Structure 1
Amino acid sequence: MTIEKIRQQYLKHILEEEYDNNRASLAKKLNIAPTTLNKYLSSGKYRPISDRTARQFEKKLNCTKNAFDYAYHRESINIYYVRVTFSGGHPHEFLCSLHRHSIVKEASAQYGESDIFIKIEATEEEYQCLTFNNIRLFPGVIKTTTSQALNTSRWQRSQAEYFQIASEKQSPHKVVQRYIYSKRKELYDELQMLDKGNEIIVHSDDINPLNYQELLENADDNIKMSLFYNHRTQDRLEEELLKYRAKTKPEIQYRILLITNERISSDLYQKLKNFTEKLEKDRNTKVYTIEERDWTSDRLERNGITLTIVDDLVVSILNRRSFTLGFKPEVVSRYNKIFARNWKIAKYPTRFYK
């Protein structure tokens, strides 16, 4: 929980306990307009209470110093001093980027063994997120050294916010460095997704591409598919489906949903019927058709989707030049439910399923 949220909760506590939810009285005591107080207390997008405003409120309410921050500091807030070493170039953009993070309380260039000094007040999780997702990925950063303060043996003087960084002229080199930083962050985010087991995107031009057909060939139990069948996809779809079916194990159970639309011609409908009969000659293959307008999904997937679920372990959502893989149990379960719901709609078209 951020310090801004903690301060808002403390202000709500005072309103309820000491002012019996009378906002007008509390606003008068704080010497602010009732509309301003409402912005501080809003349950949606609210105005954050800054350090300076928090200290002013404490004086006007006769609270002890830092009372608005007490719960925040009680929740394992640590002080971290980070020294950053750069390789070449002036770290001007790095200093500017740090100013966007509220947990960074001070940052300055310096002489000595390191180039930048940073003071961070945050939980361990917030510190790690900032360090690994931003600081270490910034172009030019080659080393970081962190020291943690002992909260039981420290003091500090209050100071007004100070920001003094000279403007720096842009250059082609800076543009390239900014691109490198964004590319590093993109790759790091993708690594995090791999580690967490969330959905990942596999491109056809990846260095080590994952083969879609290989996924099917290694299935052990069942394969569920939903595919669009129309005049643009029919030839390719018929060829590929028959090829996939021939290369998978004979005992694999295939459940295929072919998604059409209401504008399908009579000729195409006959081709679809013949194609379905050809697929179902294999006793382990079952095919149903469903109109796209009848497709039901969840709040994340509104329309019909091209997906494949292999052994209830991996889900693949096909795109034009890539496919998205999901292998986390809750992700696979979600798409399994979507498929099962639409399978029932296609199997029993006269019934209505939610």
Structure 2
Amino acid sequence: MNRRTHLKLAAALAMAACPCLSAAQAPALPSTQGTYPTRPIRLVVPFPAGTAPDVLARLLVPALTESMSASVVVENVPGAGGTIGVDRGAKSAPDGHTLLLSGDAALVLAGGAYGMRPPYETLRDLAPIAQLIVTPNVLVVANDVPARNVAELVALVRSQPGKFSYSSAGIGLSQHRAGELMNGMAGLDMVHVPNPSNPWTDVIAGRAQLMFGNIAVALPLIRDGKVRGLAVTSLTRAAAAPELPTVSESGLPGFESLSWFGVLAPAGTPPAVLHRLEVELQKAMATPALKERLAVMGAIPGVQDAAGFTQVIKNEIKRWAPRAGATGAAATATSSPAPVTLAQKP
């Protein structure tokens, strides 16, 4: 699928969700089970329209609306790395009519890790319901970077200290964490250049030499020749791009940095409502059209139950907590394994 077709399909699916975007335009349908929900459900997305969590939300809305027999309204509340929207969701009434669809960073970074000090505690102030999907990032380089694989890239960066930068959509996001993980594991000094508006433009124009970009966006750009893909950041190859090796198999064993997205409710939401939402989200995510669309984008199913998702968040908080500091860079380098030597591959 080329980039134009990919984007058209995403746009078409987003447009299909438009009737659900306004409570005024789409009044709540009668509930078929009990008294919940009694009005439209607000789905808070803490990032702007067009970003990965927003696209996921708008793909989810039609299936969830049908499953819940109620309107679902997407509300974008961006800012501060997602923490403004997450805080909005956490402070909403705990009645099941406000849900949060967030990425990992705003949920697992706290206490100064990567500079993140949110005004909430995820597992105190929110009730995890389901981790919807997990997506690897793709290590891409600008077309004028001569490296053709991870080993060549590491050798090139080492040969020109302080001259290589990597772009990301913001401090603490998985793209940033992947860059600092590579700095620490390979003994590099790449400079982080965040660009919350659109980090891809920096790499395409060559202002930044590389990026760890979400696979759903990266693959169309790679196939259009806008950037060059070197490897994926999961421990296994991605089914959507099996030709790309993993960073781990390319000379940095154990390298893994993933993005994931899940749905949570305010703490104190009644257990019966949480259970209903868990079941309905599982049903929505199992619809063939949504499963196929997400697979094309390179996503894999997450841990779609509350207990499992809660454990994922606990593990991730523990994993990233040692990487604390103003940006996380120094702590990542000191808490990662000793730099490794990579053998260049043909």
TM class by smaller structure: under 0.3
Q: Give the TM-score normalised by the residue count of structure 2.
A: 0.23
Structure with greater contact order relative to length (CA < 8 Å, sep ≥ 6): 2
TM-score, scaled relative to structure 1 = 0.23
Structure with larger Rg: 1
